[in-house]
Amino acid sequence: MGAVNPDIAIDDVALVRDARSTAVVVELRSRAARPLTDVPISVGVRRGGRMVYLNAGRELGWFRTHVPAIPARGAATWVFRVPPGRRTRAGDVPFARVGIPGAPVVSSASALPEIQAAPAGGVTRGRARVAVENRSDIPQFGLQVYAYAREGGRYVTAGATTVKRLKRDERSVVQVPLTGRTQAGRLQIVAVPTIFQ
């Protein structure tokens, strides 16, 4: 991944697990005066004396190894659902590293498009219904939607999905698969833009 990004602080990294899946939740805070986009991120666990990376590999999609956007001098939460076959264990300690986007620059933004997201019903069979609305003039492709909940100061639920396309002023209802105690806490929903101009 290269050098660690000096403009981004990692406030928290958490593992959320259940019998079927694992998710990693990372809280990020930017010191940069402009929005940051397509920021490389690596996550994994410390297991004994080893560091085991969970999102390494070319078979993963772009936004499973990159944070789509972080507001200027703002905060962002990124959720990674661990692929089947990459197991975590009791005692694993999660970590995250955030890098500097490489050259050539993939994207840049002076401001982030406004995307609204909110629950659109309850949780059924481990999936949350979420309404996403593009309130900007910029069509979105591969829009990232994250859901999470905390109880007692720790993450107990986390999930992520991708909206393939959301035209300007369009609203869509999608299903977000969840990991953890899906009935616990109140879900927070975040939709992160991926196209900026």
Q: Is the pLDDT of residue 1 over 70?
A: no
Question: Mind listing the domains of the chain with CATH numbers?
Answer: 8-98 (2.60.40), 115-192 (2.60.40)
Q: What is the pLDDT of residues 21-40, one digit of tens each?
A: 999 999 999 999 999 999 99
**Residue bearing tokens 């666990």:** 45
Q: What is the pLDDT of residues 103-146, one digit of tens each?
A: 667 788 889 999 999 999 888 889 999 999 999 999 999 999 99
> Tokens representing 155?
């993450």
- Average pLDDT for the chain: 92
- pTM score of the predicted model: 0.93
Q: Which of 196, 127, 141, 128 is nearest to 170 (CA)?
A: 141
34/53 Cα distance (integer angstroms): 29
pLDDT at 185: 66
CB 129 within 8 A of CB 173: yes
- Which residues does 24 contact at the CB level (< 8 Å), separation at least 6? 13, 14, 15, 16, 43, 54, 55, 79, 80, 82, 94, 96, 158
Least trusted range by pLDDT, from 4-18, 48-62, 138-152, 157-171: 48-62
